[in-house]
Amino acid sequence: MARKKIALIGGGQIGGVLVQLIAQKQLGDVVLFDIVEDLPQGKTLDIVEASRVDLFDVNLRGTNDYKDIEGSDLVIITAGLPRKPGMSRDDLLVTNAKIMKTVAENVKQYAPNAIVIVISNPLDAMVTLFQKITGFPTNRVIGQAGVLDSSRFATFIAWELGVSVKDVNAMVMGGHGDTMVPIVRYANVNGLPVMELLERKYNDKNKAKEVMDAMVNRTKMAGGEVIKLLKTGSAFYSPASSAIAMTESILYDEKRVLPTCAYLNGEFGVKGFYVGVPAVLGANGVERIIEFKLDAEEQAALDNSVKAVKELVEAMTRLGF
């Protein structure tokens, strides 16, 4: 079977880790595109020179020419600026929309059949813009945010309860911004409700709620917490790993249920917008959106998050994108 061709648009921090993970896992041949001359060539050369040590046999190629992404099966987009300390994701709108426009036009021309995962911020708006410009079917255009936000939430829960993070299931829905919605009610440790475990730990319902609220807030602010520490850029290992989980589910047709920035057509009461929801990811991209009943508080939080996404998309449209 021929190896898959994976194009990575953006050869910065996340792009570099994506190349390394794809190579180490032998998911396919990689073309790394960036506008900065020699940067993608240098990164791919550096990584391929570890192939004898890491024992991988895929082709890695860096380029500044979009033609080289021709016929890609999967495209992952990280092109765009990251946040600096104190910035919100929305502050990146104008700069990154301009970049996304060129990226979308070129992907449309050279890889019209690809499944596309967008990572660039502000995520929900960038996915929306990419889909609008390419006109690709919505099942083939998705965004990565929820896998990472959920992994952050799960990490904090594991630390708090002193259990393996492998046993923690916790999902974050909504837009990839401060309004994101960690779903507390279904957070569990191998099926056991996290809230009950917290109440037993503290023997105090109020304290348990306080601890959970703090974890929810830390999750919402987790991107900013990393930026504040790194000072020169934003998180890049964890976003890359998260996109790889989505990539594997698609390339191996695993049908994993992953929180995905997906186009909604009435699900959860949302029509015509991209927002984070649980979705089955397989060979056709988003194969199904998994709906479940939200309680009044969760639905209100999701509506609020969708409102923020809508406002940003409308602002983008007003700016001519």
| Binding positions for ligand TXD, rule: CB under 6 A | 9-15, 34-36, 78-83, 92, 96, 99, 102-103, 119-121, 123, 144-145, 148, 176, 233-236, 239
Distance in Å, CB of 286 to ligand TXD, minimum:
17
The CA distances from residue 286 to 22, 49, 138, 139, in Å, are 21, 35, 8, 5
Shortest Cβ 207–ligand TXD spacing (Å): 32
Query: What residues are labeled active site?
Result: 176
CB-based contact 110:297 (threshold 8 Å): no
Number of neighbours of residue 310 by Cβ within 10 angstroms: 18
Q: Cα 66 to the chain's mean position, in Å?
A: 23
Nearer to ligand TXD, 92 or 97 (CB): 92
Residue with tokens 């837009």: 175
Question: Which of 142/270 has CB closer to ligand TXD?
Answer: 142
CB of 124 to ligand TXD, least distance (A): 10
Alpha-carbon dihedral angle through residues 315, 132, 5, 118, given to the nearest 10 degrees:
20
Alpha carbon separation from 32 to 37, 160, 248 (Å, rounded): 12, 39, 18
Q: Which is nearer to ligand TXD, 11 or 282 (CB)?
A: 11
* Residue facing ligand TXD at closest CB distance: 12
Min. distance of Cβ 188 from ligand TXD in angstroms? 24
- Pick between residue 97 and residue 208 the one whose CB is nearest to ligand TXD: 97
For residue 44, report the phi and psi dihedrals to the nearest 5 degrees: -70, -35
CB 216 within 8 A of CB 185: no
